[in-house]
Amino acid sequence: MDEQGNGQDGTSGAADDGDGGSGDPRFDALARRAGQALRRPAPAHGIDDVRRGRRRQQLVRVGVGGVACLVLALGAVAITRGDDERGQITPVTTPDTTPDTAPDTTPDTTGDTTPDTLPPDTAPPPFTSDTVIVPGVAISADTMMAWGGGYLLGVLIDGQFLPYGDTSGIPAEMIDAEVTLLDRSFSTDTWTVLVDPCGQPSIRPAPSSPLFGQDLAMAMNWSENYLYPGTLDGAADEDLTALRAVLVAQYGSAEGFELVTPTESMDGDPEPETLVRRYITTTDPTDPFTQTWLAVWDPTDSSLTTLHGDPVDTAQPFRMSGEGPTNVNGDEFWEDLIVTPSGDVSLIQLNDGTVLASAGECRS
């Protein structure tokens, strides 16, 4: 309680304070409530609370004005009814309007330039990671997301795969938070989402995950609601005599090439294609970057199309996911990851080498 007998709700706790009321109990109650609202003690938390209180004070003044209008209306009713005390209504309003302007008579020397029209405490929370929001399609934590090589490569919206760069940026609530993602076998695990200064989201095994501390940057992962997770298993048993003859004719030998025919066609026709990979010999058995060329053999027209790299030893080496082709949008074309020693990741179509999405380490 304060000296006027006010409770926490600001209503009066006394029947009459004896300071010369109007004689009309209805008016006195209204006037006391308006005056008490203006006679509250200064905020206890310093100048910051005072600044935030400026907006509330303006609203109080509007409320006092409304009280005054109500009092005049009550007076008009009393006059029309022949109230003998109608002359007391006007004098009482004079002293009670003075406190209404008192709080704002002191000049504001705090240097606060925030417009009074802004409600207090509405500033968005700061990001806990550096991020760059890219204009584009808005996404949320419920958007279907495809991750590859440790990066967010793209999202699936209305059946269309969009690279991450075409979105408005990862939702703020996902940054530095843990998410549950599927792997190629549809098992789930927990990952921590990070965002580098260039705005590129990436994932690392969360501390709560048994995978924590392991290097799993090559894996494909999908959000739990993704329509087309998983990768192809196994290889078809095809007669590759014609393909080997082409390799001998063009490169002098079929040695050093790995030939793999996935169980699904890479371009949607009935005949399955064969992926051709060329590797270089290295003295470091732990070096994963030994592949220099990826091509696709189409038996329907006996064509050999380069997808990435070059079939020579001097070409820039790279590596692939090692998990088999994936299909991020459910169409007739399949994709796989290409990762360079510098950390750049590309998701390419295995029928013609089209890059659907790419990501990499921030170099700004």
The domain locations on the chain are 1-123, 144-223, 241-359
> In the chain, what percentage of residues exceed pLDDT 70?
62
Residue 106's pLDDT band (cuts 50, 70, 90): low
What is the pLDDT, as a whole number, of residue 50? 39
Residue 245's pLDDT band (cuts 50, 70, 90): very high
> In the chain, what percentage of residues exceed pLDDT 90?
46
More confident residue, 315 or 135: 315
Examine the pLDDT at 332 and tell me if it is beyond 80. yes
What is the pLDDT, as a whole number, of residue 135? 54
Residue 334's pLDDT band (cuts 50, 70, 90): very high
**Treating both helix axes as pointing N-terminal to C-terminal, what angle do 25-38 and 89-96 enclose, rounded to 10 degrees?**
10
- What is the sign, positive or negative, of the torsion defined by CA atoms of 49, 105, 67, 28? positive
Span 282-308, average pLDDT: 89
Span 332-340, average pLDDT: 95
What is the pLDDT, as a whole number, of residue 280? 85
